[in-house]
Chains A and B, each alone.
Chain A
Amino acid sequence: MMRSQPRQHHSIFSTLLVLVPLLLALLLPYSASAVIEAVQFEDPATEQRYRDLIAELRCLVCQNQNLADSDADLAKDLREKTAEMLRDGRSDAEILSYMQERYGDFVLYRPPLSGSTLALWIAPLVMLLAALIGVLLTIKRRQAAELLRPAHQQNDKQRVQVRNLLKTAPDLNSQSTAGLQKSDPKGDSE
């Protein structure tokens, strides 16, 4: 196996340096919410709770949108219901469980941890761990390969210089040149 880049482990680390912040950026909660109708609340805190709740609840008609983003009739009704319950002084937990009782776990964008959702919750962690172990093993193996590499392969420039020197030394006896030619392809094919 030929490994021609001498600084492979460096490039892996720089890739990680770019990748890790990118992946962390994915964890940022997305704050886009387009509420269609104006809903009035007495204080900004309740309005914020309203916005958080309708971002947390899934529209059941257009299934990949939350209540805040959806223009479906049912989403509008459920937004109204949410606002109504907030005005009645109900807690966030009460509102979420009201929706869950009627529409099931599916209505929650963060389903509760239970037997059927266990895989959903732990799969990302397992995959992240597997990926990390894979990356670490690869880095280790490449570093080991780097150390084991024969000295004459470490610098191709030097190698060419040595070849040129050998070519310009016609006085060398033919046996040693033949030996070099024999061993060279053998070393490459390993």
Chain B
Amino acid sequence: MSLSSRTLRFGIPLLVFLVIAVFLGVGLTLNPRELPSSLIDKPAPAFKLNLLEQPDLAFTPSDLQGQRWLLNVWASWCVGCRVEHPLLNQLALNTDIPMVGLNYKDNPDNARRWLAERGNPYSKIPMDIEGDAGIDWGVYGVPETFVIDENGFIIFKHTGPLDVRAVEQEILPLFSLSTTP
């Protein structure tokens, strides 16, 4: 058997194996829940929902037209929300970012009790009891966090609990803030 056909016979499977190994290796490091949002650079979907604290008042995204703001989708039944909540409290305490908390498919009484226990970082809390606004915003796993720019376009989305890295490296720069709040 000649050297070249021996090289081919062992080289090709080895090469195929290495290519597959590299692809699977990269795949292992990706987060399957981190889906590319189709809403990035699209106008924020409209909704008009009553507020948790003042049920006779409503909030709609165009109220904040001209400001850069943060929308956090949360619920009292959501475990991940408990994890990220201290970070949101810190953000509210140390920055003047307008923070809206979309209360997703929750019971208002539970939501109020939850905030009373853990602190309320939100300036407005619209209640999405049916989850329709959630569907329009492409929410598929609470908590989710969006940043909306001055023109009402979604410029950032984070799925799952926020962590220090996401806040410092992704959210704060969007508000031209650089250090830990």
Question: In the complex the two chains form, what is the Cα distance from A73 to B138 in whole Å?
Answer: 14
The answer on a CB contact under 8 Å between B138 and A104 is yes
- By beta carbon, the residue of chain A nearest B136 is A102
The answer on a CB contact under 8 Å between B1 and A104 is no
Interface size on B, residues (CB 8 A): 18
Q: A63-B32, A102-B39 are in contact. Are A1 and B1 (CB under 8 A)?
A: yes
Contact with B along A59-80 (1 / 0, CB 8 A): 0110100000000011001100
Which of these, A1, A61, A81, A100, contacts B140 with CB under 8 Å?
A: A61
List chain A positions with a Cβ less than 8 A from chain B: 1, 60-61, 63, 73-74, 77-78, 81, 100-106
Q: Which residues of A are found within 8 Å of B37, using beta-carbon distances?
A: 104
The answer on a CB contact under 8 Å between B38 and A60 is no
Which of these, B33, B39, B135, contacts A78 with CB under 8 Å?
A: B135
Question: In the complex the two chains form, what is the Cα distance from A106 to B38 in whole Å?
Answer: 10
Interface majority SS (helix, strand, loop, mixed), chain A: helix
Q: Which residues of B are found within 8 Å of A102, using beta-carbon distances?
A: 38-39, 135-138
Q: Which residues of B are found within 8 Å of A61, using beta-carbon distances?
A: 140-141
The answer on a CB contact under 8 Å between A104 and B140 is no
Which of these, B1, B35, B136, contacts A60 with CB under 8 Å?
A: B35
Q: A102-B39, A104-B35 are in contact. Are A73 and B135 (CB under 8 A)?
A: no
Question: In the complex the two chains form, what is the Cα distance from A105 to B36 in whole Å?
Answer: 9
Within the complex, the shortest CB–CB distance from B53 to chain A, in Å, comes to 25
28 contacts between A and B (CB under 8 A): A1-B1, A60-B35, A60-B141, A61-B140, A63-B32, A74-B139, A74-B140, A77-B131, A77-B135, A81-B135, A100-B38, A101-B38, A102-B38, A102-B39, A102-B135, A102-B136, A102-B137, A103-B35, A103-B38, A103-B138, A103-B140, A104-B35, A104-B36, A104-B38, A104-B138, A105-B38, A106-B35, A106-B36
Within the complex, the shortest CB–CB distance from B154 to chain A, in Å, comes to 12
- By beta carbon, the residue of chain B nearest A63 is B32
Q: Does B105 reach chain A (CB closer than 8 Å)?
A: yes
Most buried by B among A63, A74, A100: A74
Question: In the complex the two chains form, what is the Cα distance from A101 to B136 in whole Å?
Answer: 9
Q: Which residues of A are found within 8 Å of B38, using beta-carbon distances?
A: 100-105
Within the complex, the shortest CB–CB distance from A84 to chain B, in Å, comes to 10
Question: In the complex the two chains form, what is the Cα distance from A82 to B75 in whole Å?
Answer: 25
Question: In the complex the two chains form, what is the Cα distance from A134 to B142 in whole Å?
Answer: 49
Q: What would 17 more interface pairs be, CB under 8 Å, given A78-B135, A102-B136, A105-B38?
A: A1-B1, A60-B35, A61-B140, A73-B105, A74-B131, A77-B134, A81-B135, A100-B38, A102-B38, A102-B135, A102-B138, A103-B140, A104-B35, A104-B36, A104-B37, A104-B138, A106-B36
- By beta carbon, the residue of chain A nearest B35 is A106
Question: In the complex the two chains form, what is the Cα distance from A77 to B35 in whole Å?
Answer: 19
Within the complex, the shortest CB–CB distance from A132 to chain B, in Å, comes to 16
Q: Which residues of A are found within 8 Å of B32, using beta-carbon distances?
A: 63
Question: In the complex the two chains form, what is the Cα distance from A80 to B32 in whole Å?
Answer: 26
